[in-house]
Amino acid sequence: MKLRNIAIIAHVDHGKTTLVDELLKQSGSYRENQRVAERVMDSNDLEKERGITILAKATSVVWKDTRINIVDTPGHADFGGEVERILNMVDGAIVLVDAAEGPMPQTKFVVGKALKIGLKPIVAINKVDRSDARASEVINEVFDLFAALDATDEQLDFPILYGSGRNGWMAESPEGPSDQGMAPLFDLVLKHVPEPTVDDGPFRMIGTLLEANPFLGRMITGRITSGSIKPNQPIKVLAQDGSLVEQGRVSKILAFRGIERQPIEEGVQGDIVAIAGLSKGTVADTFCALDVTEPMAAQPIDPPTVTMTFIVNDSPLAGTEGDKVTSRVIRDRLLREAEGNVALKIEESTEKDSFFVSGRGELQLAVLIETMRREGFELAVSRPRVVFQKDEATGAVLEPIEEVLIDVDEEYSGTVVQKMSERRAEMVEMRPSGGNRQRLVFYAPTRGLIGYQSELLTDTRGTAIMNRLFHAYAPHKGEIAGRINGVLIANEPGEAVAYALWNLEDRGPMIIEPGWKVYQGMLVGIHNRDNDLEVNVLKGKKLTNIRTTSKDEAVRLTPPIRMTLERALAWIQDDELVEVTPKSIRLRKRFLDPNERKRNERKSVSEMA
């Protein structure tokens, strides 16, 4: 059967996964009476809850006499490592662009990578049924973007389709016809995307996606570059430097057939398959026949820009809610994650009870922490810090700068510009984006953006949309003012009492509820002033048998501020930690004992002096 391999790339929320749903449906991948979940490719719990794609996944459909392997990719810049890896598996890309929003930062990032390795793009303008759609302007923006990314003349001569993924149609004009469904897109893929390029010689394949299967063990997905492979065939794995990782036999070969994976008797060159049976081979390794001596070159991955410290939980409540608490178990889990996720980097500290985990952004690290807590892990994590570099020539400190694109109502644009300039951002563009909205583009240091998302939504009454993308390393921009409020700290262990919280409300808003277990050094609220304050949240009302004619005042508490994981990570300071367990998210001081905290403060002041 003829083959085509394509990736669907786009910015977050532009409709990639919904489009894949329609392609599967209209290619006959499902039985007529089969019940199918919406956004079927977003298969893990976190993806369903958040409505975003986190992991790249492959599927395949048959159209006419050709099998089309489709890879659905994440849209968030934090998960860009997933996209960078899968581009070497495909020969063409459908660039999906929202008819109203136009090309956004993540579109630019992925399209740049795709054009660089020579992929021929098909541009699909999605959501043309939106009331604020502006298809012809968006096409011009896409062309300008391709030109700015140094596309070749052949790549600039891209075919264009318009349609609505949700309503299941694509056509050569924004007006339709809409009765042909996805057939124009399928036909264009067969015509425009070349057949897989294959090399002569024995079996070779680069590992692209890694997963653990409960029945088959470790599974590696990739595209066969040359030769073919059968079950029980002996193969070896070569690392990028040419050293031998392991030798073994392939126990099973699975190919994508619709949303299911089925065992096949032979994997042929050009096809995307998953192989099981090897215990050490990982992403970017070359899986090959025994007589191959040279590894294949893998795509270089952009470096991580944000790092966090994962610490063994040592709070007084440690081990009461989770069953995986020791440093050995946490270390094994992090190393397992780093194997399959090439955008993550794990380093062990000298004390062996903490680990430095570096990634693309807070969202990527927050998703890892959320996944771990659902698996029963307990740990404490520090505030995200940026990864600095040193300029070899001048010795100057360099920090990561991001391109930030903010769509905001005109009335709030002044506030946004002021807040961003306080965070050392530099505005590079300001233009109307239709519907009384402004599009602001900044170059801002990553340090200044940590924790800005929630502040932006508060400043703009929830109307702003912010998108970020790593731009470059640049000289250090200087100090950035941090959090202006202090915190309220519990001074005794026990259970929080409603009466005590009610009496403390004039000191500032609470972040805990009555009945919560607290311990000395745990954060219970936000202080109205800029200093930290120790408070007693256990003090109940003194009961006497004397009654007055006036009724006792009822305790009516203001609802506490809910600290989600992302919000907590962005809000804490360097001397604070987030304690994460399967049931709770608590905030605490790094040093629980007040005397130890004071000693540490004095020590850091003298060091600075």
In the structure, what pLDDT confidence band is assigned to residue 579 with cuts at 50, 70 and 90? very high
Answer with the one of 237, 254, 288 that is the final residue of a domain.
288
pLDDT at residue number 12: 77
Q: Is residue 562 in some structural domain? A: no
Q: Which of 206-220, 252-266, 406-420 holds the top average pLDDT?
A: 406-420
410-426 confidence digits (pLDDT tens):
899 999 999 999 888 99
Alpha carbon distance 407, 275 (integer Å): 44
To the question of whether residue 14 is assigned a binding role by annotation, the answer is yes
Co-location of 7 and 44 in the same domain: yes
535 labeled part of a ligand binding site: no
The model's pLDDT over 537-548, given as tens digits with 9 standing for 90+, comes to 998 877 766 665
CATH number at residue 103: 3.40.50.300
Q: Is 95 annotated among the ligand-binding residues?
A: no
> Do 153 and 219 belong to one domain?
no
For position 255, which CATH number holds? Answer: 2.40.30.10
Kindly state the average pLDDT of the residues 512-522: 92
- 482 is an annotated ligand-binding site residue: no
The pLDDT of residue 554 is 67
Model confidence over 49-106: pLDDT tens digits? Answer: 767 776 777 888 888 889 898 888 877 766 766 777 778 888 899 999 999 888 887 7
Q: Are residues 7 and 71 in the same domain?
A: yes
232 shares a domain with 93? no
User: Are 13 and 156 within one domain?
Assistant: yes
Mean pLDDT of 310-320: 91
CA–CA separation, 158 and 143 (whole Å): 9
Residue 547: predicted pLDDT: 62
**Residue 102 counted as an annotated binding residue:** no
Distance (Å, rounded) from C-alpha 370 to C-alpha 580? Answer: 9
Instruction: Tell me if 128 is assigned to a ligand binding site.
Output: yes
Buried b / exposed e over 476-513, threshold 16 CB at 10 Å, is: ebeeeeeeebbbbbbbeeeebbbbbbbbbeebbbbbbe
Q: How, if at all, do strands 2-10 and 66-72 pair?
A: parallel
Do 105 and 219 fall into the same domain?
A: no
pLDDT at 24: 81
Residue whose structure tokens are 């990639």: 16
Residues 118 and 211 in one domain: no
Specify whether 211 is located in the same domain as 170. no
Model-level pTM?
A: 0.80
Q: Which residues contact 179 (CB under 8 A, 6 or more apart)?
A: 169
127 marked among binding-site residues: yes
Q: Give me the domain span that covers residue 213.
A: 204-288
Among 90-99, 107-116, 160-169, name the one with the lowest average pLDDT. 107-116
Average pLDDT of the chain, as a whole number: 85
Asked whether residue 33 carries a pLDDT value surpassing 90, the answer given is no
Q: How confident is the model at residue 606 (pLDDT cuts 50, 70, 90)?
A: confident
| 152 and 227 assigned to the same domain | no
d(CA 383, CA 483): 12
Domain shared by 393 and 448, yes or no: yes
Pairwise CA distance, residues 456 & 473, whole Å:
24
Residues 109 and 23 in one domain: yes
The answer to whether the annotation marks 345 as part of a ligand binding site is no
Number of Cβ within a 10 Å radius of residue 265 = 7
**Which of 288, 320, 340 is the C-terminal boundary of a domain?**
288
Q: Which of 177-186, 226-235, 356-365 has the highest mean pLDDT?
A: 226-235
350 contacts: CB under 8 Å, gap ≥ 6: none
pLDDT for position 548 = 58
